[in-house]
Amino acid sequence: MENQNNLTENLSRREALKKIAVVGGALSAFSFLNQDLLAQQEAKTDDGEVDMIASADLKTVIKNGSVYHQQQLKKLYVGITEQNTIKVSEKPLTAKNIIDAKGKIVSQGFVDILADNAGSPETTYRIFEKYKLTDGATSVLQMHGGSAYPAAFHQKFDPLPHYVNYGVSVFVMILRLRFMSFADRMKYTEKALQEGALGVAHSIEYQPTSYEELVGYAKLAAKYDRPFFLHLRYSAKETELEGVKEAIKLSKETGARIHIDHLHSTGGTFNMPKALELIQNANLTGGQITTCVYPYSYWATYLISKRFDPGWQKNFGLTYSDLTVVGTGQKLTEGTFNAYRSRPGLLVAVPEGTMAFDKTIDLALQTDFCMIGSDGGIESEPKANNHPRGAGCFATAIRHGIDMGMSMEKTLSKVTTLPCRLMKGVMDTRNDIANGKVADIVIFNPKTINGKASVANPNQYSEGIDHIFVNGTLVYEDNKILASKGKPIRYTPQK
């Protein structure tokens, strides 16, 4: 049993899929110098009297920006204290370091609840976090995988430098590979939750699992009041709504908060209006269902996955030449498809428009239970074999929200408020630009913000993001990363 429970072992999602394929035959500082207090008290600005009491402990002040405060955009002064918390004021604040954010939006840092650092995180996590940070994400939570043993994960990664705040769910797919007994799977899932895991994650399309077993995981998630992130089991037109109904049934029968991963590519690709109607009705009648999308009209996944089992052409209306190896631009043929099918970790993308914005993503974004989640991460340089959502998801989402006429407040709620609410308790100190909150802050230009990452070259920083603060420290400015100030995010381990 000790060998099975080797807490230093951390199989990746790609490694899990590789093993599944074999077994199944297919499977996120300027110090305020003490100045003459009398001079401070006499200080004036064009806007009126400076709030000197509020300014006495500030190291940085952001002025003239439109501040996303209590889910509204307001003209406020934002101060960062020596304790790395936020002070907001309608009156002018002062500090040695002043940032003029005229024409800019000042928001709490974006939260990626569906990040994926799947391949060898010990050697790739810095690249992964770099492209998250430069896309405005200050908290990056791996809820589509994570770790089978969260305590071991944190023991290994917490001493290391991090660009962003980070955390993991318990990775059920790995536990199911290691333990054949249902009792053991439940035991180690609960142990992970006791160790502070942010939730439970499972992908039942890639690793088919009985409903009875899913009930077990859902009950544990409900017991610890953590979300159960679920990649649904069906993605074909004729069956995808059955997956949505299964998630709803799980929530109602167990009381678990179920989060459906990337609904537009698994559950609502062909039937989004009906999928949203099912979820809305469920939430009105006792269910607790949320979901997310990423702002791209094409999906990408591992060629070894069950999604490409025989029949995939009919399921998706695609053929071999519609598949592109991400990071190279290579189009597949039947020959290369078959040759690459057993290659672990090879990601292929489908054509743009496979998931039409107006019929899928835009509809989901109108609801109050849908947020943004990347479902990705950049793991190598100079050109990664990763979907561009790993580097440009959030800037692209904000640009898309602007272009589709969605209010900035509603768009920002999808990348800040709603993800924090989903991760309730553990993200409460980072859920607003408000007094006493932790200073995770992004300043961006709404006229220029956009993701630059592409299928041909995913490894590109997003545009229009001017400043990023993580835990009160300026870590990104002028397209340069300045510091590593990320901290672990986890629930307090239970004895």
Question: C-alpha distances in angstroms, 407 versus 217, 379, 401?
Answer: 37, 33, 7
Tens of pLDDT, residues 374-383: 999 999 999 9
CB 140 within 8 A of CB 164: yes
Chain length of the chain: 495
Helix (H, G, I), strand (E, B) or coil at 392: helix
CATH of domain 108-481: 3.20.20.140
How high is the mean pLDDT of the chain?
90
Instruction: Indicate if the alpha-carbon torsion angle 327, 333, 335, 341 is positive or negative.
Output: positive
Could you tell me how far CA 257 lies from the centroid of its own chain? 17
Kindly state the percentage of the chain with pLDDT values over 70.
89
pLDDT for 51: 57
CB 490 within 8 A of CB 196: yes
pLDDT for 15: 54
Rounded Cα distance between 65 and 78, Å, is: 9
Domain ranges of the chain: 108-481
Tens of pLDDT, residues 167-180: 999 999 999 999 99
**Does 148 score more than 60 pLDDT?**
yes
Could you tell me how far CA 186 lies from the centroid of its own chain? 26
Return the closest-CA partner of residue 109 out of 449, 442, 479: 442
Tens of pLDDT, residues 414-472: 999 999 999 999 999 999 999 999 999 999 999 999 999 998 899 999 999 999 999 99
Number of Cβ within 10 Å of residue 446's Cβ equals 16
Rounded to two decimals, what is the model's pTM? Answer: 0.88
Q: Where are the beta strands (DSSP E) in 64-204?
A: 66-69, 72-75, 77-81, 86-89, 97-100, 105-108, 110-112, 137-147, 165-171, 200-203
- b/e map 157-177, b = 16+ CB within 10 Å: beeeebbbbbbbbbbbbbbbb
Tens of pLDDT, residues 102-125: 999 999 999 999 999 977 899 999
